[in-house]
Structure 1
């Protein structure tokens, strides 16, 4: 990680903006894509719909954005679901848990 900064919103959201090496970002992006196939979105929305911004004038998709909450939810899955996600990423469940747990230390 090259740098990190925190932010808060008027709604009470606390977030972290972090610069990651490209290899790590690409891996986490693949993990996130695998997770949205397994984890159902809030209120029946897709993850992309849930995280996008929309008003009367425009809609902005959340692209090149890693959702730490979604990625951390991997740790709450059953062992079978973890294996379903880890297998196409060509990584063991134990190693993937370790990587996700390391990310939880960013905040």
Structure 2
């Protein structure tokens, strides 16, 4: 099972995207664990995260996240702005898993 954490400013928009990602995973028969966090909740809630996805509004955090968590988290990426805006959970999930499977 893959653990995915999504992060945005308040955790609201990533919660909506996460629900769409869960629906896509269910249709494809993929087992994933997901959580959506506000940027201030990251440090205490990453747990067993395999994939960390940052919303476009917090993309400024990417280098810091990679520096701090590169040894613990396989994939740390910013969600594509257009996929995020369209709430395209299937595309975001597919892209994230493709990156994860390359590692």
Larger strand percent: 2
The structure with the largest alpha-carbon Rg is 1
Q: Into which bin does the TM-score normalised by the smaller protein fall?
A: under 0.3
Structure having greater relative contact order (Cα 8 Å, sep ≥ 6): 2
Return the TM-score normalized by structure 1: 0.27
Return the TM-score normalized by structure 2: 0.28
